Amino acid sequence: MTQVLWITFAPITSAAAQFYGKSDLMIGLLSMSFMVVYILMFLPSAWVIDTWGFKIAVGIGAVLTGVFGLARGIFAANFTVVFISQVGLAVGQPFVIGSITKIAARWFPARERATASGLGILALYLGPLAAMLLSPYLVLKVGLPRLLLYYGIAAAVSAAVFLLLAREHPPTPAGRDERTLMFDGLKSMLRRRDFRLLLVIFFVGLGMFNAVSTWIEDIVRPRGFTISQAGWLGGLMLFGGIVGAVVIPLLSDRSRRRKPFILFALIGLIPGLLGMTFASGYPLVLLSSFVFGFCLLSAGPIGFQYAAEITYPAPEGTSNTLLLVMGQISGIVFIFAMDALKVPATGAMTLPLVAMAALTAGCVLLATALPESPVHDGKRGN
């Protein structure tokens, strides 16, 4: 639900701009607020996750999600309240998504943790997928205010379910999981060359996902596609990511290798991105979006788990959150750059999309310099 609430307006940018009487960029800022707030909250949330555990951390995020999700729905006609609610929702998000690798490490042995992280990160793709498909349909069917109210009620229910049912520890220990204190771990991981390379790769990859998701309608609108078609395009991109996030981490766990799958993802997303940029026929755009999503989003859980393994015994919550904050910073940069570099007359975003493909090619070169995870050699876990 945090992801549904984040990306609510992306596939309906033009409809929301018309409803509130705002520019496309102002509507884009509703999504971008999550990225700005993440940068401010990543250290406090990582400290809470690693010090108090994921149940308290996610509980904080759940309460904020439920309260501000409802507020956004009840006062949906007031843009100022909607914007303030987006900021409140954004404060809760890092407590939720930063806990995924902590749960994987606490509840699962090392041989299953990439798969467990993949299933957890699957929710980060299912949320935008639901929003991409439902937002265009609901805004045409019931209008924007009721759409936001429906999402707010769903957020409150999901928050209540977590608070009632979540447990911190499994019935039996999942394996060895001693970790250093957060700030000690932060210093040690930043001294590692391989982790710094991974930070650069996440800077490009996650920033690209955030920017493309935010501007999904604007990317295809100059080619004559409707908001419903943009929603299906974004939905198929995320569906591809869901398939990839299930299949690729499972293969990674079975082979106990991470690097080849990171390379595969980076290489494969380039033709998908170029297809989304240049294809004029809707079927080819859909196929390109699936390939792009499959490759890009499958790399997320493997990258998070790889980071946790190469930085051990630094806390998983810290490595996870640091990678995510890189994507928030680049997401802000890419969102503004895509808006600034689009063709004024038509709104086409060809130039920034081609630039992102070139950056991805550079990341392929960086990924070749990454070492294999110590899990492959049996140095970590069981």
With residues binned 3-state (H G I as helix, E B as strand, rest as coil), the percentages for the chain, rounded to 5, are 80, 0, 20
Query: What span, in angstroms and rounded, lies between the C-alpha atoms of 23 and 14?
Result: 9
Q: pLDDT value at position 56?
A: 93
Query: What tens digit of pLDDT does each residue of 139-182 get?
Result: 999 999 999 999 999 999 999 999 999 888 887 765 555 454 45
Query: Which residues are CB-neighbours of 297 under 8 A, at least 6 positions away?
Result: 125, 209, 238, 240, 241, 242, 244, 245
Query: Which residues are CB-neighbours of 139 under 8 A, at least 6 positions away?
Result: 12, 15, 16, 147, 227
Angle at CA 278, nearest 5°, toward 276 and 284?
Answer: 55
Query: pLDDT tens digits for the chain (382 residues)?
Result: 999 999 899 888 889 999 999 988 899 899 889 888 988 888 888 888 878 888 999 999 999 999 999 999 999 999 999 999 999 999 999 899 878 877 877 888 877 776 777 677 778 778 888 898 899 899 999 999 999 999 999 999 999 999 999 888 887 765 555 454 455 566 667 778 888 898 999 999 988 988 888 888 888 888 888 888 888 888 888 888 888 888 888 888 888 788 888 899 999 999 999 998 888 888 999 999 999 999 988 888 788 888 878 877 766 666 777 887 888 889 889 988 998 988 888 888 889 999 999 999 999 999 998 888 776 555 554 4
Q: Which of 87, 85, 95 is nearest to 35 (CA)?
A: 87
Q: pLDDT value at position 382?
A: 42
Domains and CATH numbers, the chain: 2-167+177-373 (1.20.1250.20)
Q: Are 244 and 295 in contact (CB under 8 A)?
A: yes
Q: Which of 359, 348, 351, 342 is nearest to 296 (CA)?
A: 359
Q: pLDDT value at position 354?
A: 94
pTM score: 0.73
Q: pLDDT value at position 183?
A: 56
Inter-CA distances, 116 with 102, 106, 185, 299, Å: 10, 11, 23, 14
Query: What span, in angstroms and rounded, lies between the C-alpha atoms of 263 and 81?
Result: 43
Averaged confidence pLDDT in the chain:
85
Query: Residue 94 has which token pair?
Result: 């890092």
